[in-house]
Amino acid sequence: MIIPLPNLLSDNQVKTIMGLVGSAQFEDGKNTAGWHAREVKNNEQMTQSEPLKEINQILSRALQLNELFNFATHPHIIRPFLVSRCKDQGSYGTHIDNALMFHERTSRTDISMTVFLSPPNSYEGGDLVIEEPAAERRFRMAAGSAIVYPSTTLHRVEPVTKGERIVACTWVQSRIRSAEQREILFDMDTARRSLFQKDGKSREFDLMTKAHANLMRRWSDV
């Protein structure tokens, strides 16, 4: 299940983050890649620093407040954000994200997330391409928007041929391990919210909420 999150960040938040990016240092992205991904990773990443800590605080707060993110992902652990920069043909070839990540605590990667920080008209190339069984899907979103997608997918970032593509990336361990179960819960939650908007707290809403809650009890990994 691929879910866009439009306007995750306000214009002022994007401006603040980009100011912090401008004051930071970058290193070779291969330093954080798995042994096989190093062969196709050609980007730069912000070094661990105070600006990166401030960026993480802004992004973490935005995720806490974003209702769609929370009922789509059921986050249990959210990894610290990495800030990535691609320029001068920089790219990240086809790869799959590591199943486990290690930083202070070990977590499973169920869901990957990209937050777009550069305006799409400020660079050329750089599409995020996610492979699905029937086709590839391309994403190039407005600054401050984000996309969440299963970490189980092959994906890539096309070469940036002009300008700079700056994004923040993180990974989520969900309380609902199964992507199929997360999609069922998402559909039910979407339907019950629509029922509530249409008819208020009706009998149908109560029954849908009961089924949703009981499935959460059955499927949650806490």
The annotation places the binding site for Fe cation at: 95, 97, 155
Binding-site residues: 95, 97, 155, 165
How far from 38 is each of 29, 34, 43, 67, 214, CA to CA, in Å? 8, 6, 10, 35, 43
Query: Which strand (E) or helix (H) includes residue 168?
Result: strand 160-174
Contact 153, 131 (CB under 8 A): yes
What are 166's two structure tokens?
Answer: 């700056």
Sign of CA dihedral 26, 80, 149, 140: negative
Binding-site residues for 2-oxoglutarate: 165
